[in-house]
Amino acid sequence: MAELNIVLHEPEIPANTGNIGRTCVATGTKLHLIEPLGFSLSEKHLKRAGMDYWKDLDVTVYENWEDFCKRNPGAKIYYATTKGRHVYSDVHYEPDCFIMFGKESAGIPEEILKANPDTCVRIPMIGETRSLNLSNSVAIVLYEALRQNDFDHMKLEGQLHRLSWDD
């Protein structure tokens, strides 16, 4: 079973993290938050964006990058960055990999990227666009990883409430 992981390195905007938390619940994905956070986990904007899903979220908080590395030794990590050498859809995401995103104002620290050039991925954009919204970026890359893993354990078909598709 695919057990993907989203990592947010020092996220700053509670609404983004709330939206990402909701996406993680909807996909059975674990969320990892690396401090310092730009908000409190009890902040109302975080809960509002995550709606009533936040209570169902599998979330782990780490003191810093070193704490994350120590508690996840040998983890396969993909680093989503505008500086990446590879397009996010051109790599293969293992069923238990971690996909890391940096803080909204600065991204992932360059020393981390420099140490991991082969697993840095980017979402293509035109011109000099600085970046996409963090929660949108997470959704784009996460759903590609889920697609590559055949949407393992996910509901693949919807149902009408009052009619059947054959009516």
Q: Which pair of tokens denotes residue 131?
A: 């970046």
The CA distance from 138 to 86, in Å, is 16
The CA distance from 29 to 100, in Å, is 13
Report in angstroms the alpha-carbon separations of 80 from 7, 77, 116, 124, 155. 10, 10, 11, 11, 26
**Other Cβ atoms closer than 10 A to 76:** 13
**Does 123 belong to an annotated binding site?**
yes
**Does 102 belong to an annotated binding site?**
yes
**Does 127 belong to an annotated binding site?**
no
Contact, 117 vs 85, CB < 8 A? yes
Binding residues for S-adenosyl-L-methionine: 102, 123, 131
Binding residues: 102, 123, 131
